[in-house]
Each structure stands twice: as structure tokens, then as C-alpha cells.
Structure 1
Amino acid sequence: MLKNFLKDLAYFTYHQSLSCIFPVVIFVTLALSKIIHLSGIPRYDFILIVCLVTQYLMYKFGLESKDEIKVICLFHIIGLLLELYKVNFHSWSYPEDAWSKIGGVPLYSGFMYASVASYICQAWRRFDLKIINWPRSYVAIPLGVMIYLNFFTHHFIYDVRWLLMAALFVVFYRTVVQFTVRHNHYKMPIVVSFLLIGFFIWIAENIATYFGAWSYPNQEVAWTIVHFGKISSWFLLVVISIMIVAQLKLFYREQ
């Protein structure tokens, strides 16, 4: 029993690592470009080039399919729009100069959202994810839209994230994600998976801000840990991400 569990754990860890290739490349590039001086090219532009090359190589070597690339590009656009809005409301900033900056936002920033989509798509395929009791589209889609809009509207009206999180627990209380490790099936409430992924992204965010990917106002003088409240933001962003992937897979399955 213990032996099989350890084999499953090793398999799970290995394939989770493969699913994280894109985020890992971004973090390694952030770290190295912070330590090593780059001559002739701004740091943010160098990171953008690395992201583009990585995306091409992952497709070239079959790590991502054409349909997965489409999903990742959608996330890139969604993330970039959010970045443009948030930066211009001074929620955070990208202090370094770059040729590829638009509205104060370097284009590589969209790839940080795309890397989350890359992870979800790869993990979905590698672990043969199946979602049981997924809510009806007429419920899931409007809820996802409201979550995304709240990232914009809370600057003007009341922040309803906690109401939206309560609604998520109601809508998804019966929803379970099933994943396969070797030949064994495991199940987890999907809200728990939202929380776990959001928590690990928050950890990654701390690493990213430490290496200067972006800066929150309280980090401009010296780096400090990202506020724990940001976990709720990442939780909601993960919900949107998984909703999009799940709805697209449901759409293609019905074609």
C-alpha cells in the first residue's frame, strides 16, 4: 500500500513538474536577468523574447497542442487587459524601461497569465482530468464574467469578491475534479483545487516580485511579502481560468 502510494506521489510530482515548464522558465528568466546584467536590450524585452521562444518550442516539440495555444493566447489577452487597467490605477507598477511597454505595461506580463493557462491545460491532459457535476453554462459563465468584471469595478463600487466567493461555494458545492495518477483515480472538491492553485500562485507571486517582475506600492522602497489578501484575488482568477478551459472543452466535446 505504502509502496503504491509513493509511486503515485513520484508520478504525480514528475508530471506536475512537466506541467509547470512555462511558469518555471519565466521564473528562471526573471531571476537570471535580475542577477546578470544585459547589455543592448532592456530586461523586460529580453523576458518577452524568452517567453515567445518558449511558447514556440513547446508547440514545436508537442508539449502543447494547437487548441491549447488558442486557450493560452486568450489568457494572454485577458491578462494584458487586466494589467493595463490595474497599472493605470496604480495597483502595481513595472518600474523598468522597455521597448515593448504599452501604457506602462510590458507585453511579457500577459505571458504570466498565459503560463497559468499552460499549467491548467497540461495538467488536464497529463492527469486525464474529469469534472463531475459541472454547473450549467447559464450559471457558470455569468458567474465567471462577474468575477472578472469585479477586478475592474471594485475601484468605483463596492468590492463584492466575498459575495462572489460565497456564490462559488454554493454553485460548485457538488462539483468534484477526478484525476488519474498511473492507474489510480483520485477525487477532490473543485473549490479545494481552486484554493490550492491560488495559494501556490501567491507563493510564486512573492518570488516574482522579489525578482522585480512588478512592484506593489509597498514594495517600491524595499521588498516585502505580498499581502495575504492577494490569495483571494488569485483564487478568483484561478476560478476564471478553470471555467474558461472547462467551458471550451465542453464546447469542443459537444461539436
Structure 2
Amino acid sequence: MKYAKLFIIFVYHQAMSCIFPVSIFLTLAISKLVQISYLPRYDFILISCLVIQWLMLKSGLESRDELKVIAVFHLIGLALELYKVNIGSWSYPEEAHTKIFGVPLYSGFMYASVASYMCQSWRRLNLRLIYWPNRMLVWSLGGLIYLNFYTNFILPDIRWFLIIFMFILFYRTRVLYTLMNKVFYMPIVLSFLFIGFFIWIAENISTFLGAWQYPNQSNYWQLVHFSKITSWFLLVVISFLIVSELKYVKRQLKS
């Protein structure tokens, strides 16, 4: 009975941490079913994302510091989208007023939703890290991963070398989280994999709802290739590193 209660509490906190990502999915679903005259779908999604963020901030579900982190991720994601769309990795086929070089501005919120989940989980579960590696090595890994997202179109893709490096770097690192005053832990690499897998599932839902489109989905929807899990896995690594570093900087400023 005790473990069932712990599981329910864990699921509750995870669900509350996913409010922003789930809200985006609902927006995608609604925008696919309901069309508003003179308001392109992508513009409607952008307006909805902005309203959701405002509501979360005003209701106290999200703090100002968390909003700043989300804004950083929005810009990072938007920069990556601009590059990937313009080399043909995927596309946004619908018209919109808020598109820049083929990329709708709402796309950055897809990355920001990952940051929102991490920030919410960190606060709700009182996350702590043990055996964190050398910060210079951590930032070197994050920089190489992000750079590889840009260079793998013209240079050899080194994602598997980066994954091996990541396993070596974080093999001892654990994430501690608290439920009912009881502390649990999980290997951080396992948490990266879980989050990456669920983002891949979310990506399939998003492409089915027409949020964006891969070249092989131009005629009809197909399952996103399993190889994309490694991309999301590495993106989760970058996301976690940025969030953890911002948390570290905040602690340093307070001390």
C-alpha cells in the first residue's frame, strides 16, 4: 500500500510537471480540428503558447526564474530549427504570418516545453545530483553535442562517440529525488534515456497532428524513425546540462 501511494504521488508530480507540454499537444489537436478564419494555424498555436505561459506564471505554476530558463531554450531551439528546416531535415508546410525563413515562431516552444518539464520536476521532486563530473568536461560535452546537430549535415555524424563519452562521464552520477520525505535515486543516464524516449513518442503525436513534417511524411503520415531517439537523447543531455548549470549559478549568486 505504501509503495502504491508513493507511485501515485510520483505520477501526480510528473503529470503536474507536464502541464505545458500537454497544453501544447491539446493546442495542436484543437488547431487541427478547428480552423479560425483569417488566423493561420501556426499563428493560433503561437498565441496559445504565449497565453499558456502567461497563465502558468500568473497562477504560480511557474516562477519567473523558470520562465527565464524556458525563454533561453526557446531561442536555442529556434536557432536549431532555422538551420534544420533550411537544409531540408524537416519542414512546416502551412502558411503563417509568424514564420521566419520557413520556421514558425511557435516551434521554439517545443524545446521550451522540455525545459519546463525539467524545471517543474526539479522543484516538485527536490532534485539533487551526486557525483557530478568536472564542469569543464560537462560543458565540453554539451558544446560538442549542440555543434554536432549543425555539422552532421556536412561532416561525419559523431553522435555515437558523444554517447559513449557521455556514458563514461556520467557513469557514477545519480539523481536524487524525494517522495514523502523518503529519498530515491536513479542513474542520470537512465533518466536521459527515459525522457528521450517519451519525447520521441511525443514527436510522433506532434507530426501526426501536423506540428511539422519530415520528408518521408509528405504524402502520408509515417512513424518517426527509431534513430531519432538518439537525437532526442542527446538533446535531453544538453537540456539537463543547461538547467543544472543555471541552478548552480543561482546557488553561487545566493551564497
TM range (shorter): over 0.9
Residues 1:252 and 2:250 are matched in the alignment = yes
Identify the residue that residue 26 of structure 2 maps to in structure 1.
28
Unaligned 5+ residue runs, structure 1?
A: none
Query: Structure 1 stretch 169-178 or stretch 35-44: which is displaced more?
Result: 35-44
Separation in 2, partners of 1:35, 1:69: 30
Identify the residue that residue 81 of structure 1 maps to in structure 2.
79
Identify the residue that residue 62 of structure 1 maps to in structure 2.
60
Identify the residue that residue 11 of structure 1 maps to in structure 2.
9
Secondary structure of the corresponding residue to residue 96 of structure 1 = coil
Secondary structure of the corresponding residue to residue 114 of structure 2 = helix
Matched residue type, 2:48:
V
Separation in 2, partners of 1:247, 1:179: 18
Identify the residue that residue 128 of structure 2 maps to in structure 1.
130
Matched residue type, 1:223:
W
Secondary structure of the corresponding residue to residue 185 of structure 1 = strand
Separation in 1, partners of 2:243, 2:39: 35
Identify the residue that residue 145 of structure 1 maps to in structure 2.
143
Structure 1 position 63, deviation (Å):
1.0
Identify the residue that residue 119 of structure 1 maps to in structure 2.
117
Q: 1:179 aligns with which of 165, 177, 180?
A: 177
Matched residue type, 1:50:
S
Structure 1 position 183, deviation (Å):
1.8
Question: How many residues in Structure 1 have an aligned counterpart in Structure 2?
Answer: 253
Matched residue type, 1:249:
K
Query: Structure 1 stretch 32-41 or stretch 68-77: which is displaced more?
Result: 32-41
The one-character-per-residue Cα deviations of 1:27-55 (angstroms, maximum 9, x if unpaired) are 00101110112212000000000000111
Q: 1:96 aligns with which of 94, 97, 103?
A: 94
TM-score (norm 2): 0.98
Identify the residue that residue 218 of structure 1 maps to in structure 2.
216
Separation in 2, partners of 1:254, 1:134: 16
Separation in 2, partners of 1:59, 1:136: 34
Matched residue type, 1:132:
I
Query: Structure 1 stretch 34-43 or stretch 23-32: which is displaced more?
Result: 34-43
Matched residue type, 1:19:
S
TM-score (norm 1): 0.98
Separation in 2, partners of 1:76, 1:221: 30
Query: Structure 1 stretch 136-145 or stretch 83-92: which is displaced more?
Result: 136-145
Separation in 1, partners of 2:196, 2:4: 26
Secondary structure of the corresponding residue to residue 122 of structure 1 = helix
Structure 1 position 60, deviation (Å):
0.8
Task: Please list every run of at least 4 consecutive aligned residues from structure 1 whose deviation after the TM superposition is greater than 3 angstroms.
Answer: none
Identify the residue that residue 234 of structure 1 maps to in structure 2.
232
Separation in 2, partners of 1:128, 1:221: 46
Residues 1:199 and 2:197 are matched in the alignment = yes
Structure 1 position 182, deviation (Å):
2.0
